[in-house]
Amino acid sequence: MKESAIYIHIPFCDHKCIYCDFYSIITSDNITSFISALKKEIKYYSEQFSEDRIYSSIFFGGGTPSLMEPKFIEEIINSLKKNYNISNDVEITLETNPGTVDNNKLIEFKKSGINRVSIGIQSFDDDDLKFLTRIHNEQTAVETVKTANKVGIENINIDLIFNLPKQTKVKWKKNLVKAVELPIKHISAYSLILERGTILNKMVLDGKTKIQDDDYDAELYEMTIDFLEESGFIQYEVSNFCKPGFECRHNNAYWHYKDYLSFGPSSHSFINSKRWWNFSSLKRYIHEIEKNGFAIAGSEIINNEMALHEFVMLALRSDGLNLKDFGKRFGENWINQKHDYLNKLSKQNLIVNDGITYRLTKNGYAICDEILVNLLK
């Protein structure tokens, strides 16, 4: 039976942060219609993808899923369990923003089936939070983590962003120190990225703010790896660190090129070498579901060359390119052709090979994108 993952996109938000390019809407209208459409979509795909696979991860992303009432999250989880073969020890993650939950709400989320929360803190520095237009401050962020732990949610991730404008190494180090003092099992540390169409991108284009250069970004990144490893966290993907045994199953489904099924506006699915994505507009999504049972805006078939490139990219970004797994899927020709370049990377201490797996080193992770461009061209 094939192991797969499920993603649910909750589009509702209280406001749009300046750096965010995920589909979200600042309204609580249409929640009832959205839930109804979501359950119809869940039912529709169950006829195709329920019998030959087991789902070990459910991830609620957004938007801000924690704005939802716990009863709605429970309703969605129950619909999934009714229609799909959900693992008994399924990991169910809810993306959560400080300021949108309290003790009682977290208790209800836990009762609904949530056993992992991913808290979008981004920074513990109040000035940085104001710049990012977050609704919370340092105190609220810390309290949210501690409350989640207190109500019995042991598996807690926090998101942090580095290389913010004017962010010094001292300031970033304070973020990391604060993070590891909290009862968390997982940290996602991302470099600030300018996404087209965001408010932040326009601010940079208009000269209202300036992003620090790539060399400084790399120094902050290497500092992050060193500090978190010294603090007992394992790096299992370019931007993800965890205590031993707390790798995010959902992340690993993506990185290990497993199938995943997604529901909700703007969500993307990948099953049986086919990728498809839903309409982003919530109203269009609801309309299409009511009309057809699905809301597909576009799709593509992944041919062998595309699959090879995606497999290599995801593997090297995470825990390495396993030669046995690669050989089963694609044969040995490509690896043989890249032998000289891989040896060159090895001599430069950018990659290591234990005879089973090629893995990027800390230095390799820092220039991962450049390595992949050269490797896959």
**Burial annotation 334-345 (CB, 10 A radius, 16+ → b, else e):** bbeebeeebeeb
pLDDT tens sequence across 225-261 = 999 999 999 999 999 999 999 999 999 999 999 999 9
Distance between CA atoms of residues 63 and 14, nearest Å = 9
CATH number of the structural domain 2-255: 3.20.20.70
Residues 6 or more apart in contact with residue 174 via CB below 8 angstroms: 124, 125
Q: Give CA–CA dist 147/121, Å, rounded.
A: 14
Residue 214 tokens, joined? 């790539």
- Which residues are CB-contacts of 369 (< 8 A; sequence separation ≥ 6)? none
pLDDT at position 212, please?
Answer: 80
264 contacts 25 by C-beta, under 8 angstroms: no
Q: How far is 97 from 101, CA to CA, in rounded Å? A: 8
Report the length, in residues, of the chain.
377
Question: In a 10 Å sphere around its CB, with 0-12 CB exposed, 13-18 middle and 19+ buried, how is residue 232 labelled?
Answer: exposed
How would you classify the pairing of strands 155-162 and 116-122?
parallel
For CA atoms 331, 333, 334, 336, the dihedral sign is: positive
333 residue type, one letter: N
User: What is the three-state SS of 351-362?
Assistant: EEECCCEEEECH
pTM: 0.94
Q: Where are the alpha helices (DSSP H) in 151-275?
A: 169-181, 199-205, 214-230, 249-255
The CB density around residue 48, as the number of other CB atoms within 10 Å, is 11
Are 158 and 243 in contact by the 8 Å Cβ rule? The answer is no
Q: pLDDT over 70 for what percent of the chain?
A: 96
What does the pLDDT look like over 138-147, one tens digit per residue? 999 999 999 9
- Give 344-374 pLDDT, tens digit per residue: 999 999 999 999 999 999 999 989 999 999 9
pLDDT tens for each residue of the chain, 377 residues long: 899 999 999 998 877 776 666 767 776 678 999 999 999 999 999 989 987 899 999 999 988 999 999 999 999 999 999 999 999 999 999 999 998 999 999 999 999 999 999 999 999 999 999 888 888 899 999 999 999 999 999 999 999 999 998 899 999 999 999 999 999 999 999 988 766 777 666 776 777 777 788 889 999 999 999 999 999 999 999 999 999 999 999 999 999 999 999 999 999 999 999 999 999 999 999 999 999 999 999 999 999 999 999 999 999 999 999 999 999 999 999 999 999 999 999 999 999 999 999 999 999 998 999 999 999 98
CA distance 273 to 302: 5
Hey, which residues does 9 pair with through a beta bridge?
61
- Give the residue range(s) of CATH 3.20.20.70 domains in the chain: 2-255
Q: Are 66 and 96 in contact (CB under 8 A)?
A: yes
Tokens 């997982």 sit at which residue?
186
Neighbours of 333 (CB within 10 A): 9
